[in-house]
Copies of this chain bind each other. A is one copy, B any other.
Amino acid sequence: MEAAGSAVLVSPEAAVSSAFEVAGAVKNVAIVGFGTVGRSVAKILCGDSGSSLRLTHVINRNVERKRVDWAPADVVWSDDFNAALAPDIDIVVELIGGLHPAKELVQSALHAGKSVVTANKQLIATYGPELFERARTAGLTIAYGASVCGGMPVLPALGAGLGGDRIVEIKGILNGTCNYILSRVENEGISFADALAGAQALGYAESDPTDDVEGLDARAKLVILVRTALRREVNVSDIPARGIGGVQPVDFVYAKRIGCTIRQISRAKSDGQAVAAWVQPALVRLSSAAGTLQGSRNVVVTTGEFGGDNVFSGFGAGGDPTAVAVVSDLVAIANGGSRLTINDQVQQAKVAPDYHSAFYVRFVIDDQPGILAALATVFARHGINIDSVLQERGFERKQLPFVITLERCANSQLHAALKEIATLQHLVEKPLALPILD
């Protein structure tokens, strides 16, 4: 198994050269997948005449509609993925996304003796170890600094800069689309559906937004971060991911009452054996790094045994920031700084089946005397302490949202209680339960 993001690719030269002027022979680069990121990569590569990285191929389905007039005339434009295997290409940049045929393309490129730079988080989360081993055997490199948080140099920082620490926890906002949508629900009081439609209209969300809003995109990034920072290999599908669709404007009102706001959080904590990991909306302190983050930026917070907390924030997506990560990896490879080795220190680990947290539970009820007593009785029976009961004015009694916050307990305890609560009368909606981060 291999290594830690683009940190793998750092060479002395990479550390000091601009993207545009690197030592050594010119490396020919093929970009496969010419969308927003691909165009930005090409723009950076073509922007400097002294570059030792030369864009030679652009490959995309129906490539004719993708042609740009600012690329050198000798760039080969092709519809055929196999064009990436041409003998004069040194490095293949995989930007087609998804698992297939991205995996097969990367395998073919490695087989043909080309190093690979990819921004594909699903590919690296799912097939990383297998592909790293293949690259290592062939004496080649796979670099994937762009796969987590776009233009934020989180992977090099964690791999190289904190190699002397033991990172015990990593958490963050890893999906800008979710954060944009939640920011609008918070600031404008609009519904999730309206905020999503707005994000789609502006191009911030895909027409099929599932990967973003259901947490699957963030989950893949979390797997790569766990590998790099916690040095544990977990299966991506074992990490529970929950979407932001259930969060309503009223939840921000209640969250604020206890000094919090709501963000789509990805979090992993190692207890030495298992890794407690999840992706879901959670309450965070208004004053925290996650709480102050607005719009589409990302933030990552690591906690080290010796170095304490480190906070990174920046543009986690977008053509130009993601292209910076891709080009940083290209520079490193061009400088010969990458050598893959098996990493015996990344250990296979299970995702812990349970975790502990304080919780926020929002109920919507048809208000009747005795409901609070009934809820409190169920929580008590499950050994869960109630921390506070919050009720905002101005709602109609037949559809009354109110909140119970719970002291730290096991998620499994909470869900056993909620299962029993589901059988109670007068609940108008399924309760929304969210962890409250420390």
Contact = CB atoms under 8 A, between A and B. Distances in A.
B162 A341 contact: no
A410 interface: no
A312 to B, nearest CB: 6
Interface stretch (A79-87, A212-220, A324-332): A324-332
Contacts of A344: 21, 23
A35 interface: no
B19 A4 contact: no
B12 A163 contact: no
Interface stretch (A147-155, A186-194, A197-205, A241-249): A147-155
Interface in A85-114: none
A6 interface: yes
Contacts of A7: 10, 14-15, 156, 160
A338 interface: yes
A75 B34 CA distance: 58
A17 B164 CA distance: 9
Contact of A17 (B9, B161, B163, B325): B163
A431 interface: no
A346 interface: yes
B4 A328 contact: no
Contacts of A395: none
Contacts of A158: 153
Nearest to A21: B345
A329 to B, nearest CB: 7
Interface string A299-338: 0000010111111111100001101111111111000001
Tally of this chain's copies: 2
A157 to B, nearest CB: 4
Contact of A151 (B307, B313, B329, B341): B307
A197 to B, nearest CB: 26
Interface residues of A, number: 76
A40 B332 contact: no
A430 to B, nearest CB: 37
A339 interface: yes
Closest 8 CB pairs of A and B: A153-B161, A164-B327, A15-B159, A151-B307, A164-B328, A10-B10, A10-B160, A16-B343
A7 B9 CA distance: 10
Nearest to A326: B164
Nearest to A294: B287
Contacts of A387: none
A11 interface: yes
A131 interface: no
A349 to B, nearest CB: 14
Contacts of A159: 10, 14-16
Contact of A156 (B17, B161, B165): B161
Nearest to A341: B12
A326 B162 CA distance: 10
A318 to B, nearest CB: 8
Given A12-B8, A160-B10, A161-B153, A23 B341 contact: yes
A3 B16 CA distance: 5
Contacts of A18: 163, 166, 231, 345
A15 B19 contact: no
A328 B4 CA distance: 14
A328 B165 contact: yes
A2 interface: yes
Contact of A12 (B162, B310, B338): B338
Nearest to A312: B312
Given A10-B7, A161-B328, A320 B340 contact: no
B164 A19 contact: yes
